[in-house]
Chain A
Amino acid sequence: DAGITQSPRHKVTETGTPVTLRCHQTENHRYMYWYRQDPGHGLRLIHYSYGVKDTDKGEVSDGYSVSRSKTEDFLLTLESATSSQTSVYFCAIAQKETQYFGPGTRLLVL
């Protein structure tokens, strides 16, 4: 699992509330990613980071923000959750050209 943990693993929240998901890695990898997985869409990149305080948008970044103040932690924030953000969220790291994924966070927005 490349030393990746995600928290929480499950969360139920209400529309309009802020939500923060955490990804933690133990191996000092430079690149970290947040994806969402939805039926029929596969894995879509939300944001990624290439170093502390260095982040960039992916293909589905609207409604999401990220922060990386330490190498080991990459946070994904939904400023005001909507039902369309109900999904499974995966964090990943890159080791050379290979990406390794965390166990995922299942988020339900009611």
Chain B
Amino acid sequence: QQQVKQSPQSLIVQKGGISIINCAYENTAFDYFPWYQQFPGKGPALLIAIRPDVSEKKEGRFTISFNKSAKQFSLHIMDSQPGDSATYFCAASLSGTYKYIFGTGTRLKVLA
């Protein structure tokens, strides 16, 4: 019940296309869902986060869609660029615990 399942494991997208990464969770008590971006040799960096009281959050080309009833959330990268090539992790957290459960990551490659 503590797992966060992330798919796909890897993704190749053409420049200008839309990249979509999906995550699913079991624990309905989770109430904070961040996405992290990691470049090779670097630590993960927060990209965008959402709470379950909204169904969508957009920051620039990055959008989180949240489906509370399905217990799923996804990251959409619009107009994908080669500079977006990185590994992306979703996570889930329960307020007050300060602990995350991470998905297994998606390696995104955007072709020029």
Binding site for B on A (CB under 8 A): 1, 31, 40-45, 48, 50, 58, 90, 92, 94, 97-104
Contact = CB atoms under 8 A, between A and B. Distances in A.
Contact of A102 (B9, B43, B49, B93): B43
A98 B36 CA distance: 11
Contacts of B41: 104
Contacts of B43: 1, 90, 92, 101-104
Given A42-B104, A102-B43, A97 B98 contact: yes
Given A98-B49, A103-B43, A48 B104 contact: no
Interface in B76-100: 89, 93, 95, 98-100
A43, A48, A90: which has the most chain B beta carbons within 10 Å?
A43
B45 A97 contact: no
Given A41-B104, A42-B89, A97 B44 contact: no
A48 B45 CA distance: 19
Interface of B: 6, 9, 32, 34, 36, 41-46, 49, 89, 93, 95, 98-100, 102-105
A101 B44 CA distance: 6
B42 A97 contact: no
Contact of A97 (B6, B32, B104): B32
B99 A48 contact: yes
Contacts of A102: 43
Contacts of B104: 40-42
A41 B89 CA distance: 11
Contacts of A92: 43
Contacts of A58: 99
